[in-house]
């Protein structure tokens, strides 16, 4: 048995590092030494304030979560590390850099099927974005973005900017990102996306994807659609009620709001696409260096109890906040 350290949320806006014993590595397991993890700000902010509603405790459970909502809970799902021990059935994974849907923890043992090798050409520090890319890919599938579509993405956080960049790579699309937050223009430009305020956003759009996590953003998105348009909702609000304008032209223009959730592959693709294949695609898409622009800050793992409440707290404008572990203090590929 060997001790590891993990971050636990212990109460509203509070967390700590706890030691735990790792189980032995079985023949089909791997031990991973973490290089980086990332804060999924929207979801982890809800977890940190205890905002996961009881009806969603099972649905929101992360693959390797420990504890129970609301507190104390070990939560997270964006981890990249090196396989330092591989079981007898999976020797080919030894020494590989892998992505895992694991909470913030410096070392962990998981079944080999729970990790996916990071492709050559994708730095470990960028690979933590794989979960965001996977969510964005699923959102584009749900929104059925097609060649030539006029697309608006409302909400220029990490997920919104990833969605916008991927949508802009569909041939002939006209993509615009919409947000009220100041200071995102430079990041949007590095992502190859035009960013505008809601009052300046173009109307009569074929497709709108909403990622702002606010009722105001949802209302803005609906106002941008053309007749018979569909808004695909990627935000999750937890236990917060959302006020949205369903008056004015919502009915006369026959608008639709469609939910998208990464926990399920869209029905039309489910016969051919597994979640593992989808995650492999997300990792491959991270060869694009533009995604480095989304990393807005970094903390040492030891400082996470101090920094995570700030990064995930009210008023934070953080994009992707990366966590660096002792093993990642030197550049990793």
Per-residue 3-state assignment (H helix, E strand, C coil) for 136-204: HHHHHHHHCCCCCCEEEEECCCHHHHHHHHHHHCCCCCEEEEECCCCCCHHHHHHCCCEEECHHHCCCC
Look up the CATH superfamily of 132-259.
Answer: NAD(P)-binding Rossmann-like Domain (3.40.50.720)
In the predicted model, is pLDDT for residue 27 greater than 80? yes
pLDDT of 333 above 70: no
Average pLDDT of the residues in 81-87: 98
What backbone phi and psi angles, to 5 degrees, belong to 276? -70, -45
Q: What is the mean pLDDT of residues 183-210?
A: 96
Mean pLDDT of 304-321: 92
**Residue 327 three-state SS:** helix
What is the rounded average pLDDT of the residues 279-295? 98
Q: What is the dihedral of CA 297, 320, 19, 49, to 10 degrees?
A: 110
**Which 3 state secondary structure label does DSSP give 232?**
strand
Question: In angstroms, rounded to a whole number, what is the distance separating the alpha carbons of residues 107 and 33?
Answer: 5
CB 90 within 8 A of CB 103: no
* CATH code 3.40.50.720 region(s) in the chain: 132-259
pLDDT digits (tens, 9 = 90+) for 156-180: 999 999 999 999 999 999 999 999 9
> pLDDT tens across 86-101, in order?
999 999 999 999 999 9
Residues of the chain with CATH 3.90.180.10: 2-129+286-328
Mean pLDDT of the chain: 95
For residue 331, pLDDT over 60 is answered with no
Token reading at 172: 């002939």
User: Tell me: the pLDDT tens digits for 31-77?
Assistant: 999 999 999 988 899 899 999 999 999 989 999 999 999 999 999 99
Is the confidence at residue 122, as pLDDT, over 70? yes
What CA–CA distance (Å, rounded) separates 19 from 2? 10
pLDDT, average across residues 113-124: 98
Contact assessment for residue 88 and residue 30, using Cβ atoms and an 8 Å cutoff: no
**Is the predicted pLDDT of residue 199 greater than 90, yes or no?**
yes
pLDDT at 330: 55
In sequence order, the 6+-apart residues with CB closer than 8 A to the CB of 282 are 130, 131, 133, 134, 136, 137
pTM for the model: 0.94
Yes or no: say if 190 and 173 are a contact pair by the CB < 8 Å rule. no
Query: Using one digit for the tens of pLDDT, what is the confidence trace for 251-277?
Result: 999 999 999 999 999 999 999 999 999
Q: DSSP assignment of 272-318, as one string?
A: T--HHHHHHHHHHHTT-GGGGGGEEEEEEGGGHHHHHHHHSSTT---
CATH fold for the domain made of 2-129+286-328: Quinone Oxidoreductase; Chain A, domain 1 (3.90.180)
């Amino acid at each position: 048995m060997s001790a590891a350290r993990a971050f636990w949320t212990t109460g509203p806006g509070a967390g700590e590092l706890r030691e735990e014993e790792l189980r032995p590595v079985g023949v089909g397991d791997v031990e991973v030494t973490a290089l980086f993890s990332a804060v999924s700000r929207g979801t982890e902010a809800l977890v940190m304030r205890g905002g996961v509603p009881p009806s969603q405790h099972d649905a929101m459970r992360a693959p390797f979560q420990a504890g129970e909502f609301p507190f104390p809970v070990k939560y997270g799902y964006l981890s990249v590390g090196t396989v330092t021990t591989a079981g007898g059935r999976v020797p080919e994974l030894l020494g590989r850099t892998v992505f895992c849907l694991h909470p913030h923890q410096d070392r962990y043992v998981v079944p080999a099927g729970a990790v996916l090798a990071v492709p050559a050409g994708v730095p470990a520090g960028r690979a933590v974005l794989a979960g965001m890319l996977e969510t964005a890919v699923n959102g584009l599938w749900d929104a059925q973005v097609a060649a030539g579509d006029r697309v608006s993405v409302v909400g220029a956080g990490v997920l919104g900017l990833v969605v916008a960049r991927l949508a802009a790579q569909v041939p002939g699309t006209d993509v615009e990102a919409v947000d009220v937050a100041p200071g995102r223009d430079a990041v949007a430009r590095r992502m190859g996306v035009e960013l505008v305020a809601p009052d300046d956003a173009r109307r009569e759009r074929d497709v709108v994807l909403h990622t702002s996590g606010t009722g105001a953003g949802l209302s803005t998105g609906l106002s941008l659609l053309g007749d018979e348009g569909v808004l695909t909702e990627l935000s999750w609000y937890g236990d917060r009620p959302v006020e949205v304008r369903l008056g004015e032209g919502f009915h006369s223009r026959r608008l639709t709001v469609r939910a998208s959730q990464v926990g399920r592959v869209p029905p039309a693709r489910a016969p051919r696409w597994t979640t593992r294949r989808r995650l492999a695609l997300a990792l491959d898409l991270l060869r694009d260096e533009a995604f480095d622009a989304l990393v807005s800050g970094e903390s040492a793992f030891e400082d996470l109890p101090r920094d995570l409440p700030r990064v995930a707290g009210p008023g934070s404008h953080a994009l992707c906040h990366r966590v660096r572990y002792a093993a990642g203090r030197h550049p990793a590929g």
